[in-house]
Amino acid sequence: AIGDALDGAIARALGITSDNGARLDAKADKWFDLPALYNFCIILPIMGLSSEITTMYVVMILLITIFDYYGQMFRGKYSSFSAGIVGKTKTTIKFIVIYMLSLDMRYQEIYDALDLNFYIPLLLFSATLLSGVSMALKTKLYNEHMKTYLGGFIKKYLEEYFNDKG
């Protein structure tokens, strides 16, 4: 998580930013956090977490994966490669959840004292919601671009059609 926060700041400070770096940074976040979250989905039932809660975690992580995948498809085509505040917040929440889940494996007393069984689902739901918002914003930019492009194409076609008829 610290590396994720520092890499962009270091690149900007040294003046070595690029679209490829921004694109790779966004993908690297997903290559790290999504597999870590899926690993917990495998480990949690072994640790004694109920199947209902594990299923809820799996569903939310699947939704995050779907939203992130489609968000990446639209990233850079009609929106910026670099992460916005929604994406940065979502990624921070995912890293916090990973940390909290790891507490259950190592420090059960801390996990129980902080009542993380309440906060983890809440944070996962927040990350799911933010993933959906992030994807929707990128999709909205894509749709606006397509409307502009198609609107211009249709207008040009109709003008040519009616000019040929008139």
What's the predicted TM-score (pTM) here? 0.69
- Given this model, what pLDDT does residue 141 score? 65
Please, which residues have CB within 8 angstroms of residue 118's CB and are 6 or more apart in sequence? none
Q: Report the alpha-carbon distance of residue 46 to residue 129 in Å, rounded.
A: 28
Tell me if 54 sits within 8 A of 45, measured CB to CB. yes
- Given this model, what pLDDT does residue 103 score? 80
- Given this model, what pLDDT does residue 151 score? 66
Number of domains comprising the chain? 1
Provide the domain limits for residue 30.
2-165
- Given this model, what pLDDT does residue 63 score? 92
pLDDT average per 10 residues of sequence, the chain (166 residues): 65 76 71 82 75 85 88 66 77 89 78 84 93 81 64 70 68
- Given this model, what pLDDT does residue 4 score? 60
The neighbour count for residue 99, using CB atoms within 10 Å, is 12
Tell me if 30 sits within 8 A of 95, measured CB to CB. no
